[in-house]
Structure 1
Amino acid sequence: MADLFRTTEVGGRYAQALFDLAEETGALDAVRADLKSLRAAWGESADLRRAMTSPIISADDQRKALVSIADAAGFNRSTRNFLGLLGQNHRARDLPAVIAGFEVLYAKKTGVVAAEVVSAQPLSAAQSKSIQSALRQALGRDPELTARVDPSILGGLKVKVGSKLFDASLKTKLDQMKFALKRA
């Protein structure tokens, strides 16, 4: 799912428009919080993903759905209006790319370093704190940690900071061992 959240040309243009609007209205942090909620909802709800990516659902129905979600969640007016426009233009399927593009713009503006940690099981508070401390030491500043569980990695961790990926997952190590054995 995380692979969906990368920027595209269209997503980047919409993200820039939303970012500019949020900056002008002084709602940058509120819009960012709204988009984080949307990102979580996108990841958790197969129904939401189907509704927003289906070519048979009309643009008006997608607009109504996005506006309803924004209203129910109490999103900022700028976010709500933007989501309505995204649905109206039949671009709801580009929502993950818009969110990714917005995060890139936000990070450039504020200097925030976002780090995604993927583990096979949920991290304890002590583990999260330890990872945060190690990243702080490596990066020279506090990262904003997002944790995600992916049982398919079997064990270990994957840590992504910007475009860099540190993969210490058991699945990757086993795949590397399998490849080495095939070459032998």
Structure 2
Amino acid sequence: MIENQIGKRFAEALSDSITDDDRVEEARDNLRQFCNAMEQDSQLGRFFLHPSIPEENKAALVMEFCEKISALEEVRNLMRMLVERQKMCFVKNVSAYFDEVVARRLNQARVQVVSAQPLSEDHIKKLKTMLDRVLGKSALLETRVDESLLGGLKLSVGSLVADASIKNALALLKQSIEKEEVLSEFASG
């Protein structure tokens, strides 16, 4: 889709414009802050997409926000360019692709960790150490709680999912029992 191509192109250009790895992480944070602000304030998104609002007003607001968060110059230039080219509607795509570009560049893997209860800092630290070793990358853990899991963990890295939750174990057990019942009915019938 076109929004993916646009997001990817701008994200790669931003990454290429920043040589220092620490600054690339700061740029990632800057983009996330901007996206978070747009998600929290729906009027902000409508402001940037409204065709009758002059480009100068949009650019001024972007620069004011960049100033407020002390955004890197490269991020300011990107945001200015998105306004000038009327591409602000793609800022989320740019941010998402930039996350991927930065993760590749810094040899990181984003891991979603879902648990039935909040994990202790010690548990998170041990899990990160294990995942760093297994993945051969620095694991960036994003944790959340889903009480319906009952216990255990569910890990997602990209399209790979490892579900070691009690909920999943019970579902597999149920499938197995149902399969056995069907087979026994078939054999006796």
Give the one of 142, 147, 166 matched to 2:142: 147
**Does structure 1 retain, via aligned residues, the 8 Å contact 2:38–2:44?**
no
Q: What CA deviation, in whole Å up to 9, does each residue of 1:67-117 have, x standing for no partner?
A: 222211111111112112223323223222212222322333332333233
Matches within 5 A, 1:39-118: 39=32, 42-43=35-36, 46-48=39-41, 50-52=43-45, 55-56=49-50, 58=53, 60=55, 61-118=57-114
When the two structures are superposed, what TM-score results if normalisation uses the length of structure 2? 0.66
**Does structure 2 retain, via aligned residues, the 8 Å contact 1:119–1:153?**
no
Matches within 5 A, 1:111-126: 111-119=107-115, 122-126=118-122
Choose 1 or 2 for highest CA Rg.
2
Using the alignment, how far apart are the partners of 2:4 and 2:72 within structure 1? 24
SS at match of 1:8: helix
Q: Which residue of 1 aligns with 2:185?
A: none
CA RMSD, Structure 1 to Structure 2 (Å): 3.7
SS at match of 2:64: helix
Using the alignment, how far apart are the partners of 1:151 and 1:21 within structure 2? 40
Q: Which residue of 2 aligns with 1:173?
A: 168
Q: Would the alpha carbon gap of residues 75 and 118 (structure 1) be closer, same or farther in structure 2, given more than 3 Å must change?
A: farther
Matches within 5 A, 1:148-163: 148-149=143-144, 151=146, 157-163=153-159
Matches within 5 A, 1:9-28: 9-23=5-19, 26=20, 28=21
**Does structure 1 retain, via aligned residues, the 8 Å contact 2:111–2:155?**
yes
Count how many residue pairs are aligned between Structure 1 and Structure 2: 172
Q: Which residue of 1 aligns with 2:27?
A: 34
Name the stretch that deviates more: 93-102 or 38-47: 38-47
Using the alignment, how far apart are the partners of 1:182 and 1:65 within structure 2? 60
Name the stretch that deviates more: 30-39 or 47-56: 47-56
**Does structure 2 retain, via aligned residues, the 8 Å contact 1:153–1:169?**
no
Using the alignment, how far apart are the partners of 2:37 and 2:112 within structure 1? 17
SS at match of 1:123: coil
Q: For residue 153 of structure 1, report the CA deviation from its aligned partner.
A: 5.9
Using the alignment, how far apart are the partners of 1:175 and 1:56 within structure 2? 51
Using the alignment, how far apart are the partners of 2:170 and 2:39 within structure 1? 29
Q: Structure 2 regions of 5+ residues with no counterpart?
A: 183-189
**Does structure 2 retain, via aligned residues, the 8 Å contact 1:121–1:150?**
yes
Percent identity, aligned pairs only? 23
